[in-house]
Chain A
Amino acid sequence: MEFALSEDQRMLQDSLKGVLGDAASLDRMRKIAADDVGEGSALDEALAGFGLSALPVPESAGGLGLGALDACLVQEALGYNVAPSRFLATAVAARVFAGKPEILGGLASGDVKFALAVTELFSRRDGAGVELKGGKLSGKSLLAQSVDGATHLLVADAAGTLHSVEAAAAGVTVMRTIDRTRSFHEVTLDGATPLASATPDAETMAFARLLVAADTLGAAQAMIDKAVAYAKERQQFGRVIGSFQAVKHMCAEMAAKLEPSRALIWHAAHALDIGDSEGPFMANLAKAHLAEVGTFVARTSTEVHGGMGFTDLVGLHYWYKRIGVNRQLLGSPEQARQTAAQLQGLVV
């Protein structure tokens, strides 16, 4: 028995950390949040150079064939640096179109870049939703991810089937969220032709949610690291605040909640990788659990920083907002827990 990351996985983690340390500096994130397009493409290029798009694509289609756990490590690193990336969309598309080598090849080479327009699978609003009629897709999808620079959209229709359509076939409008480092769009389709279609299974949707959980894990870990570092430096009453027990306890509580969450993500991802029947429900539990723990860490870390945490100066709010948005993405914690209960057969 071994429940630990492999040598390869630690290397993947370390090298991606190195790349992101340079390419996703806080300075650059600030510029991206201020809509500096050039900075966004510089980050994209660095991640493309790392070969991010090929990682989740099977080897047979020219990718690296890495699994769910590897994907979680990647997403965690992105969350740690609040780096925007289409990795989530790519990884989900690679699963959805696992049997379609023509799409996978484009994904691996980076020629095909998917955006993810699946919000209506989880929370469909009045006036939104995409219908398939006579072989054409029409309607709206809200809060689509990674639309900028995408060549294709992965769109969910009202029946729960996912379709690939050309990005050019869609009208897009920016939707501003609290998280300005990532962009979200409203997508409008008016008779677009699906290029390929597939119905996702429970594993695929659980995997997508697990990636969001991994992103929160990274962001929360960054917030703890920042809080601990700050507490060891900041002086009040003639001593560093980290020597005050109230402050120490805030940090200890964050660590005590996050550390088992990391193990939960590993476990759920590994279960998905080996096809364990508990995988999908564990991934849903993880999505919900990280939303709760992440929210706690986001709040507590900010408090440890005092007024400084509330300012724009230290930039801590980028992580706060990343976690806040992840909490809602692809389903709220309550929705993920409901799915977890259903997948276990506790309710119908």
Chain B
Amino acid sequence: MKLTLDPEYEAFRAEVAETLAKNVHLAPTADDKGYKNPKRIAWQKFLIENGLAARTIPKEYGGYGAEPDILKARIIAEEFARTRIPGPMAGQGISMFVPTLLELGTEAQKQAYIRPTIQGEMIWCQGYSEPGAGSDLAALRTSAVEDGDHYVINGSKIWTSTAKQADMIFCLVRTDPAAKKHEGITYITFPMSTPGIEVRPLVDMTGTANFNEVFFTDVRVPKSGVIFAPNKGWQVANATLTHERGMLGDPNATKARLVELIALMQAETMNGERLIDNPLLRDRLMKLQAEVYAMQANGLRITTSRLQGQPAGLAGLVVKLQGCDLNHEIARLAIDALGDLGILYEEGEHLRANGSWQWRYMYDLGLIIGGGTAQIQKNIIAERGLEMPREPKLAKA
């Protein structure tokens, strides 16, 4: 057990903290909204140049080009969470597509996509789910038929986050309808401006359209967009999903929210009493604090396993389920603590924290579902973590 860092790393932490403190005025604020916002792009470029974003992506693709170092990555994440300065961009292109491309893409694909993506100038969406294929992703039916050096795509996708803003899509299509469920799927990328694509925003419970329906009618796309190999898309998608689940349970982000909640409960009063002085609310707060500390310590265990090149086992498999649920519970307590003012939303003099707790209480429920529902996570924990038997296949009628 050694939680202290070697001097080299402590020096690195100090360096990161100093860079952030000195340049915080460059960081975007809540007012700098939207994709391709100049302030956000400038900040992202600054972070890349200083090794605080796209750190291990090779220089020739626009990254910082550092050797992978789990501890340095961790320190950077911790410093952003601690200082609450806006961190690197984390869209699906950056967090999921770029790592996949680095692993399995061709040189030309890497050259074309990585630089603009990590700089926030090329937005991606993930075209996996379909109306008939959510948890059962491999049941997808959107078809891609060969036509010379092109595919012609027909079908539709749903729940596609940021499709409206996206320049590009990484998409799963069925290229071999005769093959087994998992074997006829291809992972392909193409521009969202290709003729025949229609995007219809889907308003979710937050009141905004965070995701969309996407329809493909005779969409002709070049075969050069295929990642890895035709009919091998399932393996590629699995590589992406690992990145997605890791992103969806970050204990540093959760801890930062808890700190925010504690500050809220210390500052806000009801009937002249600080919320933190209400024993029932405080008890709930301490319950959640215990879980946050447990998840954080669990994260330390995972980091150590990775440093030692060992599989993280159960400690790794439980992160998405526990982490996403915990975020939702933190938001729930914030709203309960605010009491009747907790029901306000969007605007108004009495709204607290810009309505962010209400927004999170709703949006976080989506994150419990997205990237694999809680039930699917439990299947994974039971079958891979506890080695319990798989559900027997239904007998063919």
A interface, CB within 8 angstroms of B: 1-6, 69, 228, 231-232, 239-240, 242-245, 248-249, 251-253, 255-257, 259-261, 263-264, 266-268, 270, 273-274, 282, 285-286, 288-289, 292, 334, 337-338, 340-341, 346-347
In the complex, 26 of the A-B residue pairs with CB atoms within 8 angstroms, ordered by the A residue number, are A1-B304, A2-B304, A4-B1, A4-B308, A6-B1, A69-B1, A242-B388, A242-B389, A249-B382, A251-B388, A252-B381, A252-B382, A260-B291, A261-B294, A263-B298, A264-B293, A264-B294, A266-B297, A268-B293, A285-B286, A285-B290, A285-B293, A340-B286, A340-B289, A341-B282, A346-B276
Q: B392 contacts the other chain (Cβ, under 8 Å)?
A: yes
Choose among A242, A261, A285, A292 the residue that contacts B289 (Cβ–Cβ < 8 A). Answer: A285
Looking at chain A's contact residues, the main secondary structure is helix
B interface, CB within 8 angstroms of A: 1-5, 9, 71, 262, 266, 276-277, 279, 282-283, 285-287, 289-291, 293-298, 300-301, 303-305, 307-308, 314-315, 318, 321-322, 375, 377-379, 381-383, 385-386, 388-392
Choose among A69, A259, A292 the residue that contacts B287 (Cβ–Cβ < 8 A). Answer: A292
**In the complex, A245→B378 CA distance in Å?**
9
| Residues of A contacting B9 in the complex (Cβ-Cβ under 8 angstroms) | 1
Return A68 CB to nearest CB of chain B, in Å. 11
Residue contact A255 to B381, C-beta cutoff 8 Å: yes
**In the complex, A286→B287 CA distance in Å?**
10
**In the complex, A153→B392 CA distance in Å?**
58
Residue contact B382 to A288, C-beta cutoff 8 Å: no
**Known pairs A1-B5, A288-B290, A338-B279; A267 contacts B300 (CB<8 A):** yes
Residue contact B378 to A248, C-beta cutoff 8 Å: yes
Residue contact A289 to B304, C-beta cutoff 8 Å: no
Return B372 CB to nearest CB of chain A, in Å. 13
Chain A: CB-nearest residue to B286: A337
Return B382 CB to nearest CB of chain A, in Å. 4
| Residues of A contacting B386 in the complex (Cβ-Cβ under 8 angstroms) | 228, 248, 251-252, 255
Residue contact B289 to A260, C-beta cutoff 8 Å: no
| Residues of B contacting A256 in the complex (Cβ-Cβ under 8 angstroms) | 318, 321-322, 378, 381
**Further pairs besides A251-B382, A288-B287: 6, Cβ < 8 Å:** A1-B3, A248-B383, A252-B386, A268-B293, A273-B1, A338-B282
**In the complex, A257→B298 CA distance in Å?**
11
Count A/B pairs, Cβ under 8 Å. 155
**In the complex, A334→B284 CA distance in Å?**
9
**In the complex, A245→B297 CA distance in Å?**
29
Return B123 CB to nearest CB of chain A, in Å. 34
Choose among A232, A252, A270 the residue that contacts B385 (Cβ–Cβ < 8 A). Answer: A252
Return B371 CB to nearest CB of chain A, in Å. 16
Chain A: CB-nearest residue to B378: A252
| Residues of B contacting A340 in the complex (Cβ-Cβ under 8 angstroms) | 286, 289-290
**In the complex, A267→B282 CA distance in Å?**
23
Residue contact B388 to A259, C-beta cutoff 8 Å: no
Return A209 CB to nearest CB of chain B, in Å. 12
| Residues of B contacting A338 in the complex (Cβ-Cβ under 8 angstroms) | 279, 282-283, 286
**In the complex, A229→B141 CA distance in Å?**
39
**Known pairs A288-B286, A289-B290; A2 contacts B382 (CB<8 A):** no
Choose among B262, B385, B389, B390 the residue that contacts A346 (Cβ–Cβ < 8 A). Answer: B262
**In the complex, A4→B293 CA distance in Å?**
16
Return B323 CB to nearest CB of chain A, in Å. 9
3 interchain residue pairs of minimum CB distance = A263-B297, A337-B286, A289-B290
| Residues of A contacting B282 in the complex (Cβ-Cβ under 8 angstroms) | 337-338, 341, 346-347
**Known pairs A255-B314, A346-B262; A270 contacts B381 (CB<8 A):** no
Return A345 CB to nearest CB of chain B, in Å. 10
| Residues of B contacting A286 in the complex (Cβ-Cβ under 8 angstroms) | 290
| Residues of B contacting A292 in the complex (Cβ-Cβ under 8 angstroms) | 287
